Chain A
Amino acid sequence: MSENYVPNSKFGKWFNDRLPLLTLSKHLTDYPTPKNLNYWWTFGGILTFCLISQIITGIVLGMHYVAHADMAFSSIEHIMRDVNYGWLIRYIHSNGASMFFLAVYIHIFRSLFYGSYRSPREIIWILGMLIYLLMMATAFMGYVLPWGQMSFWGATVITNLFSAIPLVGESIVTWLWGGYSVDNPTLTRFFSLHYLFPFLILGLVVLHIWALHVPGNNNPIGIDIKKPSKDTVPFHPYITIKDLFALLIFMIVFSGFIFFAPNILGHSDNYIEANPLVTPKHIVPEWYLLPFYAILRAVPDKLGGVVLMLGSIFILMALPWLDSSKVRSTVFRPLYKKFFWLLVIDVLALGYVGAMPAEGLYLLIARVGTIYYFAHFLVVLPVLSRIEKTEPVPLSISEPVLGGMPKFEMAKSDRKDV
């Protein structure tokens, strides 16, 4: 195992004795990975790519952007028209945010389906949720920087959420703004924090991966496996090449947005400079925040809406303790599987009505959707995980593949793979 790894070269050994970087890289390449991981498991690598891509393009944009209420909007146009490849870098960054969220939602639902949040992986899950919260804060502040109409009014609406807090709400909002409305002080502090947060996320990602490498990956059948064993393959080259292939497919989709529909996920009102005197007719957040926006508007009470919206995220952190099923993977939980897909539909529906005006049927759907969302985690999951009769779980990953084949046959196999 990598703990006892000794580099071959003399210099490598000298260096490694002082800073065990080579031991770390040996650990990462040898890291035993369940051999049945499917393509839903490739999104960790994809997300790492998204974060790095956002950081690199963001640093570049920061070289040309001017964080000032009078100049921010025109500096964005300067980036789009004057800076060499500025249009490309900005479109990578703005669409990259959407792709980042697309990937993180798939990653989260992967965890939900296969029970990856369950013991012994609670810390990984909570770190992931913290990353997700920071991602939302970062994306929100980034959206303010172009200083268009949606930036300005999005910032106004979201910061005003804090005014729902009894007694101190108004003071908190004034503190957030650095004034009596969203203005230049708000913009400059958002720029500063928007630059900082991705590096906090990067730090949490390192902890997230560190915590993952303690118990190792969960897998589609959700059983504990011996590592290393015939149920595992080394991370490199098996998983690296699979992650790379999935990343390439992901990048094709990503490029499709960048080159053919760079503004389809944005809002045209954000190409109008911020005007504190006029609110756009229809104000919506970016698509990835829509389900929460729908929950906010579903509640006919200011404080109640804010509490439920925040609760809908924080409830996820309690998930490892809400689910007490003996079986991790939903594959073997036939009844829960139906509710899982109902939750997926529910979140998609909330997202849809979040983009629609809060009235009539849309409002009704938002309310039903909100009720189901909370019922799923607070009622369905805890109850079902106690009473549902699960299907038999295989003892090892090899078992369902090889049927009743005796174990020593496998060991003797000298079949050439190449």
Chain B
Amino acid sequence: MDKPEKKSNRRDFIFTASYTVGAIGVGATIWPLIDQMNPDSSVKALASTEVDISQIQPGKSVTVLWRGKPVFIKRRTQNEIDEAQAVSLDVLPHPEKDQDRAKNPEWLVMLGICTHLGCVPLSDKGEYNGWFCPCHGSHYDTSGRIRKGPAPTNMEIPKYSFVDDNTIKIG
């Protein structure tokens, strides 16, 4: 009765220590159950794709599958390149220079997935001679940038590199 204020005693310490160890244990148990749904080793092993581009004519494109998604590889004509580079950044909803999107201006490599809700846009369609998404009407230009419609951003450029003049490695 001398000291009415509550002092933390050994029992409080044991409680706190037990709860802490318990919480860590529960967390360590739950993590494997969550992580098992992440991409597994066999999926990660397929994370890059090499594509032979020697047969693609100017103005034509091919679509390849990378990580289960379509990738457009477009060999652009000089007209299309000029058109893409001439656009002022001010008119773009998602401003990006064409030079930043295509390392080699002749080749545009991008994920062929509309950034609105994931459909695959049609090529050489739409008001900007680029791509047009039939699902909800997004128009993309010759650099794959969103110009009109509900999509929020430009189509994504995946990580890729030129292995040699005729081969692109995606991923």
Contact = CB atoms under 8 A, between A and B. Distances in A.
A56 B34 CA distance: 11
B68 to A, nearest CB: 16
Interface stretch (B38-46, B119-127, B142-150): B38-46
Interface string A80-100: 011111101100000000000
A305 to B, nearest CB: 42
A389 interface: no
A63 interface: yes
A82 to B, nearest CB: 4
A85 B33 CA distance: 8
A78 interface: yes
Contacts of B37: 63
A56 B37 CA distance: 13
Interface residues of A, number: 14
A64 interface: yes
A64 B33 CA distance: 12
Contacts of A89: 32-33, 36
A85 B34 CA distance: 10
B134 to A, nearest CB: 33
Contacts of B43: 82
Contact of A64 (B31, B35, B36, B38): B36
Contacts of A85: 31-33, 35-36
Interface string A46-72: 000000000011001001100000000
Nearest to B30: A56
A57 B36 CA distance: 11
Contacts of A56: 33
Main secondary structure of the interface of A (DSSP, over half): helix
Nearest to A61: B36
Nearest to A78: B42
B33 A84 contact: no
A86 B38 CA distance: 11
B65 to A, nearest CB: 20
Contacts of B41: 81-84
Nearest to A81: B41
Nearest to A57: B33
A54 B39 CA distance: 23
Nearest to A244: B22
Q: Which of A63, A84, A86 has the most CB of B within 10 A?
A: A84
Nearest to B43: A82
B17 to A, nearest CB: 14
A50 to B, nearest CB: 15
Contacts of A88: 32
A418 to B, nearest CB: 8
Interface string B20-64: 000000000001110111101111000000000000000000000
A63 B35 CA distance: 13
A81 B42 CA distance: 9
Contacts of B32: 84-85, 88-89
A65 to B, nearest CB: 12
Nearest to B33: A60
Interface in B71-98: none
A86 B42 CA distance: 12
A100 to B, nearest CB: 17
B9 to A, nearest CB: 11
Contact of B42 (A60, A63, A82): A82
A92 to B, nearest CB: 9
Contacts of A64: 36, 40
Shortest 8 CB-CB contacts between residues of A and residues of B: A85-B32, A82-B41, A82-B42, A82-B40, A84-B35, A83-B40, A84-B36, A88-B32
Interface of B: 31-33, 35-38, 40-43
30 contacts: A56-B33, A57-B33, A60-B33, A60-B36, A63-B36, A63-B37, A64-B36, A64-B40, A78-B42, A81-B41, A82-B40, A82-B41, A83-B36, A83-B41, A84-B32, A84-B35, A84-B36, A84-B38, A84-B41, A85-B31, A85-B32, A85-B33, A85-B35, A85-B36, A86-B36, A86-B40, A88-B32, A89-B32, A89-B33, A89-B36
Given A84-B38, A88-B32, 20 more contacts: A57-B33, A60-B33, A63-B37, A64-B36, A78-B40, A82-B41, A82-B43, A83-B36, A83-B40, A83-B41, A84-B32, A84-B35, A84-B41, A85-B31, A85-B33, A85-B35, A85-B36, A86-B40, A89-B32, A89-B36
